[in-house]
Amino acid sequence: MPTPLNLESMALEMMAAQDSGQQIRPFTTRVQGFDVPSAYKVAALIHRARLAEGANPVGRKIGFTNPDMWSKYGVCEPIWAYMYDTTVVQLRDSQSYCPIERFSEPKIEPEIIFHFRSDLSPGAKISDVVDAIDWVAHGFEIVQSHFPGWRFKAPDTVADSALHGTLLIGPPRPLHELGNDPVSVLESLSVNLFCNGLLIETGKGSNVLGNPLTAVVHLVSVLGRQSEPATVKAGEIITTGTMTTAQAVQPGQTWQTEVKGAELVGLTVDFVP
């Protein structure tokens, strides 16, 4: 029988699962009335608790921006969550390693990442987003699910920090180095994703809501409908969502990307226990 909605207890349960790496039953299977607006309230409670623990927010992730993944995971629009200094790593070069024992059913996602030099106003368009960006990078987001078997509904993922595990950011480039038309470059670029030297999948910038910049426009629109905060702020890092399907990773594997159509460095990451 479904239990009544208790946002505080749900936030505590979700945090405990995140901190321990344990999995729990999806809230949507056992909590009456749990929907996406309720899930963002749970996420806000968790965010305030993380701040009290000393975490420093450095930006946000946008999840489920690749519509090819919506039917698979039962979602119908992108979601967002905070990222912290404890979960974001700016790599010194294009090769790194990542311990994954602490993550729950981890998967890898190749993404386009932006850093903002100025605020975005509510109602921002793609041209406004371009004007506000100072650098762009390619990176890997490691996502995870604290719900067994990656079986959940959209509200569950919002409560679980939009499935964010960690973000590995490759060498950044000023946006203008992409050329005179960064919008077209970001839409048309492609990325080859390899595991242990074997090509697994090829993704495109256009897989991310048509363009990674469009994902940021969507984020600003969503934030404008929520109580806090109202928009993307100067200094934030925004990762825009995967260009391929999310791929399960295991210790001992080496994953690599090759970016074509843009002056962005491909990455290599070795996964260790």
Q: How would you write the pLDDT of the chain (273 residues) with one tens digit per residue? A: 567 799 999 999 999 999 999 999 999 999 999 999 999 999 999 999 999 999 999 999 999 887 777 777 667 778 999 999 999 999 988 889 999 999 999 999 999 999 999 999 888 999 999 999 999 999 999 999 999 999 999 999 999 999 999 999 999 999 999 999 999 999 999 999 999 999 999 999 999 999 999 999 999 988 888 866 578 999 999 999 999 999 999 999 999 999 999 999 999 999 999
Dihedral sign of CA atoms 75, 14, 108, 220 in order: positive
Q: What are the tens digits of pLDDT across the range 37-63?
A: 999 999 999 999 999 999 999 999 999
* H or E segment to which residue 113 belongs: strand 107-116
How do the domains of the chain map onto residue ranges? 58-272
For residues 251-261, b (16+ Cβ closer than 10 Å) or e, as one string? Answer: eebebbbebeb
Torsion sign across C-alpha atoms 95, 97, 103, 106: positive
Task: Assign domain 58-272 to its CATH architecture.
Answer: Alpha-Beta Complex (3.90)
Nearest alpha-carbon partner for 191 in 239, 244, 142, 145 = 244
Provide the CB-side half-sphere exposure for 151 (13 A, CA).
5
Exposure string over 110-129, b if 16+ CB within 10 A, otherwise e: bbbbbbbeeebeeebeeebb
